[in-house]
Structure 1
Amino acid sequence: MNKPIQQLVDELPSSNLTVSMLNALDFVAPGEWQNTVGFVNTIKTVTGEDDEDLIQQIGERAIYLFNDKSQGYQTALWLYQTVDGTDKVLGAAALANKIGETIPLFGFLNSLTPKPDKAQTIDLTLKIVAELVAFCQINGIPGDSIGDFVGALGEYGGESLIRMVALICVDGLIPLGPDFIDKSLSMMSQMNPQELQQNPTFRTIQDTIPGNGVGGKIDFIGESLDGVKGWMNGIVTANALTAQSVLGHCKGFLDFADDKLDYVAAFLDVSTNYYEHTGTQTLAKRLIERAIAEI
């Protein structure tokens, strides 16, 4: 880890394209997510404490827990960062001056290449597996505990829920369509190990994915997908989600033609880091909750 956890939380942006996108998805989980930033502010928000000495103790304990390599917190954060760390051809700096106004997508089309369905499917499935493994790391349970993870999804709230909502909408519905889970399951069942090994994200995180060899890891990815299928389809059905309904809520900060959905998906992919942003928030909250329990 290059930066301490308190610095990462302090550096979370209060407004940028990622935050605008997550706010736009509030209609799926109304009021669930507030963009809590700043380490001390997060401690105060999570605990309700205003005693400076106690806040200092909680912060020091949380930092100690994060730095303890026998715990899984650093691995979880690395996973959140890595699955969001694909090349961002449109740097955040290029968009920083546009926050607060509508970003016209047309000017960016020449620098965007929509991903083929297979590449998009790999990205989606790796984010699901990263979420599962990070959940297990944070909670100190075996990394192949698909049942525990699926059971916990029903209790997801706050930044964890909005992260999964964004996954469903931005990495599932918009690029792959309403049957994105079944399409992904079908593709993964037919994928050969060489195809998966060509994916840079898989090559980076493969050692954290349960399974013997690449074939075993493909099996685990498929089992993970099958495990979350019911919960994800339930979110889609309960909110009558379509690519068009999701993008309708994005019109507040993005200006695009309705026949360019694949370009919108590519744009959001390369210009947002919602997994890292909300993953950092999740990790900070779990550390603080454990720290106060131990104090």
Structure 2
Amino acid sequence: MSQTKPINELVDKLPTSNVTVYLLRALDSVAPGEWENLVGFENTIRAVTGETNNKTVKKIRDRAIDLYSDRSQGYQQALWIYQTVDNADTALGAAAMANKIGEKVGFLSFLNKLTPKADTIQTIDLAIKLVAELIAFAKMNGSPAIEISDFKAALSSYHHESLIRMAALVCVDGLVPLGPDFVSKVQSTLGGLNPSLLQQNSTFQSLSNLIPGGSTGDKLGFIGASFASVQGWMNNFVGSRHLTPQMFLGNLKKYVDIADDKLDYVAAFLDMTTNYFEHTGTQTVARRLIERAASEI
């Protein structure tokens, strides 16, 4: 893991208007009132703590930056995980969409650039993103071991950026490309997956050393167990909100011009043009740092 920029710089430079932000705004109806696009580190401190005293804000800021700089604390590694999950998908999309910021983004013009993923590849992507969330959660909590049970228990209390990230995972990586029965489909695919297919996944290659297990087969077992542990949460999330691909896409259409009848292409489009894991992950790490710093000063 290379040295990252200071957390205050990363939060200061978060975008306020791009396809990722449009996507996250579209999820407001899925998780109403949970996400605010907090940009700017001092602004985030004031929003998270309610603090108005400039001197106190500075103390919190300095302590949070110190905590992030200390590699033994795990915050840098957590953010690296969030960044790594998005890197493969967004390289092309970021360049292609650079001149579209601030416009209603046209989808049809992208059809010739899109390559929808096979269901098996999409399943692997979804499962690895979930495990990445689990590992980042453990790193931010300073856990010496990666415990599935701890993450499963914490999911019920997810809020703010963390909940909207899970909502995006469910909608963008589950519902849209794999359909309403994506949970059972993923569970079934993982159960019969050849470990060699997992080894071909670039995100797995990057995160492999952090995933528990001595062999690729062991790591696949851990990934499968992780997904199995949260399938109840995912099914409840979808069922309690009456989520369908069409409902989500209807909300997204307020910001992005997309075609309903090409769901696999929509999934590829969102893969290529968004980095919701990195964006909300940066905000989650910042919130956790600020909350801890505020309690320590």
TM-score, normalised by the number of residues in structure 2: 0.96
Q: 259, 262, 268: which one pairs with 1:260?
A: 262
Of the structure 1 ranges 81-90 and 200-209, higher mean CA displacement relative to structure 2 is found in: 81-90
> What secondary structure sits across from 2:71 in the alignment?
coil
For residues 152 and 249 of structure 1, the distance between their equivalents in structure 2, rounded to whole angstroms, comes to: 28
> What secondary structure sits across from 1:164 in the alignment?
helix
**Alignment match, 2:176:** 174
For residues 143 and 19 of structure 1, the distance between their equivalents in structure 2, rounded to whole angstroms, comes to: 33
**Alignment match, 2:152:** 150
1:129-208 equivalences under 5 Å are: 129-208=131-210
**Alignment match, 2:70:** 68
For residues 250 and 87 of structure 1, the distance between their equivalents in structure 2, rounded to whole angstroms, comes to: 19
> What secondary structure sits across from 1:212 in the alignment?
coil
Deviations 1:198-245 (A, max 9, x none): 111101100111122111111110110001100011010011111111
For residues 83 and 43 of structure 1, the distance between their equivalents in structure 2, rounded to whole angstroms, comes to: 26
**Alignment match, 1:85:** 87
Report if aligned partners of 1:132, 1:146 keep a CA contact under 8 Å in 2: yes
Report if aligned partners of 1:132, 1:143 keep a CA contact under 8 Å in 2: no
**Alignment match, 1:46:** 48
For residues 89 and 281 of structure 2, the distance between their equivalents in structure 1, rounded to whole angstroms, comes to: 19
Answer yes or no: is 1:233 the counterpart of 2:235.
yes
Amino acid at match of 2:23: M
Amino acid at match of 2:241: N
For residues 116 and 143 of structure 1, the distance between their equivalents in structure 2, rounded to whole angstroms, comes to: 33
How far the C-alpha of 1:83 sits from its partner, in A, is 0.6
For residues 93 and 212 of structure 1, the distance between their equivalents in structure 2, rounded to whole angstroms, comes to: 38
**Alignment match, 1:6:** 8
For residues 74 and 199 of structure 2, the distance between their equivalents in structure 1, rounded to whole angstroms, comes to: 25
- Structure 2 stretches of 5 or more lacking a match? none
Report if aligned partners of 1:90, 1:270 keep a CA contact under 8 Å in 2: yes
**Alignment match, 2:27:** 25
Deviations 1:5-46 (A, max 9, x none): 111011101111101111111111111111001011111111
**Alignment match, 2:130:** 128
Amino acid at match of 1:226: A
For residues 102 and 145 of structure 2, the distance between their equivalents in structure 1, rounded to whole angstroms, comes to: 41
Deviations 1:54-98 (A, max 9, x none): 111111111111111111111100110001111435443543443
Answer yes or no: is 1:281 the counterpart of 2:279.
no
For residues 101 and 200 of structure 2, the distance between their equivalents in structure 1, rounded to whole angstroms, comes to: 35
> What secondary structure sits across from 1:70 in the alignment?
helix
> What secondary structure sits across from 2:38 in the alignment?
coil
Moved over 4 A (4+): none
- Structure 1 stretches of 5 or more lacking a match? none
> What secondary structure sits across from 1:83 in the alignment?
helix
How far the C-alpha of 1:182 sits from its partner, in A, is 1.4
For residues 122 and 85 of structure 1, the distance between their equivalents in structure 2, rounded to whole angstroms, comes to: 16
How far the C-alpha of 1:268 sits from its partner, in A, is 0.5
Aligned CA RMSD, in angstroms, stands at: 1.3
For residues 257 and 58 of structure 2, the distance between their equivalents in structure 1, rounded to whole angstroms, comes to: 45
How far the C-alpha of 1:254 sits from its partner, in A, is 2.0
Report if aligned partners of 1:137, 1:143 keep a CA contact under 8 Å in 2: no
How far the C-alpha of 1:265 sits from its partner, in A, is 0.6
Report if aligned partners of 1:173, 1:180 keep a CA contact under 8 Å in 2: yes
TM-score, normalised by the number of residues in structure 1: 0.97
Q: 251, 269, 292: which one pairs with 1:290?
A: 292
> What secondary structure sits across from 2:32 in the alignment?
coil
Aligned length: 295
The alignment-based identity, stated in percent, is: 60
Q: 90, 112, 115: which one pairs with 2:117?
A: 115
> What secondary structure sits across from 1:58 in the alignment?
helix
